[in-house]
Amino acid sequence: MAGELVVLVNPAARGGRTLRLLDPVVRRLRAGDRPVSVIVGTSAQDSLERACTAVAEEPGALVAFGGDGLVHLAVQAVAGTDVPLGIIPAGTGNDVAAALGIPRRDLLAAADIVAAGRTRVVDAARIGEDEWFAGVVACGFDSRVNERANEMTGPPGTAKYLLAMVRELRSFVPVPFTITVDGEVVEQEAMMVAVGNTDSYGGGMRVCPGAVPDDGLLDVLVVGRIPKGAFLRTFPRVYRGTHLGHPAVTVRRARTVTLEAPGIVAYADGERIAPLPLTLTVHPGALRVLAPV
């Protein structure tokens, strides 16, 4: 793989603590006199505009130095183009990187994968006409927890998410969803719905454990109406992917999914997207990634 590597940096990743690791990563990428440039945007919109400008110049790769949120942003710039996406997983969850076989915690090993230049072609999916995602779209209980956590000022880190989950569970009631899967309409009350191009979100929660990023399909997981106590006992099983054995859990595969529900906001790759209804469509082979093959 020839050409310049453009590194897109999230200065806030892990509270800004990973910026000190940027220099050794850039040095590793520059081994062999490879040209490397760095983009640090002043905001998400500024970062996206800079990334799109860089991709228009057809560099060797756009490399996301950050977590799933930055990967999501970088995908907006490279999906549907011939410019590969590299990932240096410097965020908290790093689920998209893990799904592609990129080490979650070893930045220099990830840099070596980028430098090696092996390209894998995988799917990406569109939300409506304007937004791409590479990992998982989630809505229902988990997105309500995210909404609540985003309104809280503390405590820091995962403790805030856990507190938001406890508070949300007190008032949560099953949501009436209308789910259209490749033209077939299903109406049911559900605790949550996840649509996965890859298998995990939230730092290793294997919500769609059978999803693979290059099969041309999306996995549609529905957790139907169950008592709160049973839901709370079942939810931790998502880290092992064993929740699929619960009778309230169903999984279907589809190319196009439309989700409708009142008062529900969808999150994709951990990023807030928009209230439902939304239509998700897989685009086979829309994304080139630098990953082990």
Average pLDDT, the chain: 93
What's the pLDDT tens digit per position in 232-266? 888 889 888 999 999 999 999 999 999 999 999 99
Instruction: Give the residue range(s) of CATH 2.60.200.40 domains in the chain.
Output: 136-282
First to last CA, the chain: 15
pTM for the model stands at: 0.92
The CA-atom distances, in angstroms, between 79 and each of 3, 19, 43, 64 are 19, 26, 21, 13
Report CA dihedral (138, 142, 144, 148) to the nearest 10 degrees. -120
The CA-atom distances, in angstroms, between 219 and each of 38, 131, 138, 194 are 35, 18, 12, 8
pLDDT of 15 over the 60 cut: no
Note the pLDDT of residue 233.
86
Q: Are 16 and 40 in contact (CB under 8 A)?
A: no
pLDDT of 14 over the 60 cut: no
Instruction: Give the residue range(s) of CATH 3.40.50.10330 domains in the chain.
Output: 5-117
pLDDT of 1 over the 50 cut: no
> What value does the mean pLDDT take over residues 38-56?
95
What's the pLDDT tens digit per position in 132-161? 999 999 999 989 998 998 898 888 766 887
> What value does the mean pLDDT take over residues 194-201?
96
Domain 5-117 in this protein, CATH class: alpha beta
At residue 266, the 3 state secondary structure works out as: strand
- Surface-to-core class of residue 114, CB atoms within 10 Å of its CB (0-12 exposed, 13-18 middle, 19+ buried): buried
CB pairs under 8 A, 24+ apart, for 148-157? Answer: 150/272
Name every residue whose Cβ is closer than 8 Å to that of residue 232 and which is 6 or more positions away in sequence: 169
The CATH fold of domain 136-282 = Tumour Suppressor Smad4 (2.60.200)
